[in-house]
């Protein structure tokens, strides 16, 4: 469950729509030190234009020439859709214009960022790993993956064992988790069996529901393992189901289908595969800062995939 930035008010945007909340801001100031995600970078060319589609306290989403971007404060963390900087903007509303003129990003008629020297973020190449390093990494995960840490959302699904007293949300996810397991084992012809993966898409409250986060984490872990055929099979089952969630969650799932997600999630997957205990602990701290449960929900999906990879060898 992702609620913009580090907020956690539990509001759900509903199917196919996203709420906009407005807070007054100081006058816009031009920011020169900007980091952009590799997918957002495709939108930031001269004469590109669009509009704001959702506004939150520390970020806003815009669609520019059909490409979604998330413009926000550096603290929300790197990712494929982000445009990050020490931004200040006035009160914004859905529908405000966004455009690129030369190297300048204009928002609501005011210059916001100079993109000339922007840095483009992309995840690191897939890590070098072995079964022994993965086992060591999962041992490090198991040392902390319990108790209050996994008491909300779908994080407990990453533990490899769902307790009998699991929450209503986790119990509602069980058919979808079983369908995910069938895709991972190659018996994906049954993955669409009702309710199947449709039981995960849109499941849970928040801007990105827990079920979507878990699926996204699984897609990214499959890409990291080099299991592209399995990733594409999973996405092939999920893509027709995307009407079951909201616009913003949909675009994050599409990014995950390409192998891209939050930098903290990539760091956690990489550290686990490499068996880097200290690196995993740092990544876990960053994951805990993503939404209310979104970071942990996404990593739970990754853990399902990583545990399966260890079992099948």
- Identify the DSSP state of 84: E
For 43-64, write each residue's pLDDT tens digit: 999 999 999 999 999 999 999 9
**10: burial class by Cβ within 10 Å (0-12, 13-18, 19+)?**
exposed
27: pLDDT strictly greater than 90: no
Give the pLDDT confidence score for residue 206 in this predicted structure.
81
| Alpha carbons 205 and 249: distance in angstroms, whole number | 11
Give the pLDDT confidence score for residue 15 in this predicted structure.
38
Rounded to 5°, angle at Cα 232 from 231 and 233: 90
134: pLDDT strictly greater than 60: yes
For 216-228, write each residue's pLDDT tens digit: 999 999 999 999 9
210: pLDDT strictly greater than 80: yes
20: pLDDT strictly greater than 50: no
Give the pLDDT confidence score for residue 17 in this predicted structure.
43
Residue 51 has φ and ψ, to the nearest 5°, of -155, 160
Q: Where residue 8 falls among pLDDT bands split at 50, 70, 90?
A: very low
Mean pLDDT taken over the chain:
89
Q: Where residue 28 falls among pLDDT bands split at 50, 70, 90?
A: low
26: pLDDT strictly greater than 60: no
Q: Where residue 193 falls among pLDDT bands split at 50, 70, 90?
A: low
| DSSP-assigned beta bridge partners for residue 107 | 98, 110
124: pLDDT strictly greater than 80: yes
pTM of the entire predicted model: 0.89
127: pLDDT strictly greater than 90: no
Residue matched to tokens 């008629």: 109
5: pLDDT strictly greater than 70: no
Residue 101 has φ and ψ, to the nearest 5°, of -125, 110
Percent of the chain with pLDDT over 90: 79
């Amino acid at each position: 469950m992702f609620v913009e930035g580090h907020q956690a008010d539990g509001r759900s945007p509903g199917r196919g729509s996203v709420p906009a909340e407005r807070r007054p801001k100081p006058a816009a100031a031009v920011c020169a030190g900007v980091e952009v995600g590799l997918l957002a970078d495709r939108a930031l060319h001269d004469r590109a234009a669009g509009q704001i589609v959702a506004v939150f306290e520390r970020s806003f989403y815009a669609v520019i020439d059909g490409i979604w971007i998330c413009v926000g404060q550096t603290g929300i963390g790197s990712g494929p859709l982000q445009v990050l900087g020490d931004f200040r903007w006035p009160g914004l509303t859905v529908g405000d214009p966004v455009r690129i003129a030369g190297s300048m990003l204009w928002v609501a008629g005011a210059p916001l960022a100079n993109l000339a020297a922007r840095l483009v973020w992309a995840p690191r190449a897939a890590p070098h790993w072995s079964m022994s390093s993965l086992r060591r990494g999962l041992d490090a995960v198991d040392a902390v993956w319990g108790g209050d840490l996994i008491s909300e959302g779908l994080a407990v699904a990453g533990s490899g064992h769902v307790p009998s007293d699991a929450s209503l949300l986790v119990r509602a996810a069980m058919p979808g988790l079983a369908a995910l397991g069938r895709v991972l084992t190659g018996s994906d012809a049954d993955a669409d069996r009702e309710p199947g993966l449709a039981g995960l898409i849109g499941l849970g409250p928040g801007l990105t529901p827990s079920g979507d986060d878990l699926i996204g984490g699984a897609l990214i872990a499959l890409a990291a393992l080099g299991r592209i055929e399995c990733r594409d099979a999973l996405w092939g089952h999920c893509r027709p189901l995307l009407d079951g969630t909201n616009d913003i969650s949909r675009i994050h799932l599409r990014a995950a289908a390409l192998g891209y997600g939050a930098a903290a999630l990539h760091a956690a997957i990489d550290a686990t595969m490499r068996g880097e205990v200290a690196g995993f602990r740092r990544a876990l701290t960053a994951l805990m800062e993503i939404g209310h449960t979104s970071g942990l929900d996404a990593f739970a999906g990754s853990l399902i995939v990583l545990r399966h990879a260890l079992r099948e060898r």
